[in-house]
Amino acid sequence: RASAELQPLDSTISDSERFRDCRKFVMKCSSCHSSFDFGGIQASNKYQTTYSGIKCLSCQQMLSPLAVSAQLEHFLRHEISAYYAGWLVCDDCGIKTRQVSVYGRRCIGKSGKAYGCKGIMRYVYSDKQLYNQLLYLQSLFDVDKAKKRVLKPLVADHEFEDKENKPVALNQGELDALVEQNRDLFRSHQRVVDKYLAECGRRYVDMGGIFEFMSVFKR
């Protein structure tokens, strides 16, 4: 089973694609309480990455490092807890429940009797999704990705109804400078995500399982 879940191509697909279903990181300004989607060092009408950190554009106040990392960790832990709520969905009848049959994948069905529906249950919030969510949060503070302009865009191009208000993209010189100025700060935010990535079971592939065929060479 372990090998069936392996997605070796994950690292080669773009962030926009890979993080398509990830939940946005909504940050709140601690001065004026307005909230905005944070997407890393990229153009936005709501916030701006300056030479000394993240600035709220509604009130022009800077967000302290703690303001950012506290919200980041709060959001991250919220996702982990949502994952552990253990919601299951049936691929046939579509029932959503937190009850688990002693067979795991068997649907309990509308009757509640655990027979009748032939559907298969799976976690609504899978460990792969959670892992991707963590990677997404980590990417937001990846300055090298910002530099290469490969971050997931805050809003996809075709979604812009109001072309007038589309934020002006940063020029490369400005971007390069911002990246270097924010490298240490953003690295410290990434460490908050790393704390959980290091714990995340999904990251650790069962090498024994994959290289089982090689055991013959060991002897």
> According to the binding rule CB under 8 A, does residue 69 interact with another protein?
yes
> According to the binding rule CB under 8 A, does residue 101 interact with another protein?
yes
> According to the binding rule CB under 8 A, does residue 54 interact with another protein?
no
| Pairing status of strand 96-97 against strand 47-50 | unpaired
> According to the binding rule CB under 8 A, does residue 122 interact with another protein?
yes
Query: Which CB sits closer to another protein, 32 or 150?
Result: 32
- Candidate list 25, 38, 47, 131; residue touching another protein; CB under 8 A: 131
> According to the binding rule CB under 8 A, does residue 33 interact with another protein?
yes
* Least spacing, CB of residue 80 vs another protein, in Å: 5
- What are the CA-CA distances from residue 205 to residues 86, 201, 210, 214 (Å)? 22, 8, 8, 16
Alpha carbon distance 117, 139 (integer Å): 41
Alpha carbon distance 39, 151 (integer Å): 8
- Candidate list 84, 157, 163, 216; residue touching another protein; CB under 8 A: 84
* Least spacing, CB of residue 105 vs another protein, in Å: 6
What is the DSSP-derived secondary structure letter of residue 6?
A: -
> According to the binding rule CB under 8 A, does residue 109 interact with another protein?
yes
Alpha carbon distance 156, 153 (integer Å): 6
- Strand, helix or coil at 123? strand
**Segment lying near another protein (by CB under 8 A), choices 41-49, 95-103, 146-154, 171-179:** 95-103
3-state secondary structure 8-41: HHHHHCCHHHHCCCCCCEEEECCCCCCEEEECCC
> According to the binding rule CB under 8 A, does residue 187 interact with another protein?
no
Alpha carbon distance 218, 207 (integer Å): 14
**Segment lying near another protein (by CB under 8 A), choices 38-46, 76-84, 140-148, 171-179:** 76-84
> According to the binding rule CB under 8 A, does residue 193 interact with another protein?
no
Distant-in-sequence, close-in-space partners of 64: CB < 8 Å, separation ≥ 6: 30, 53
> According to the binding rule CB under 8 A, does residue 113 interact with another protein?
yes
Q: Which residues bind another protein (CB under 8 A)?
A: 27-28, 30, 33, 63-71, 73-74, 77-78, 80-86, 88, 95-106, 108-110, 112-115, 121-123, 127, 130-131, 188, 191-192, 195-196, 198-202, 204
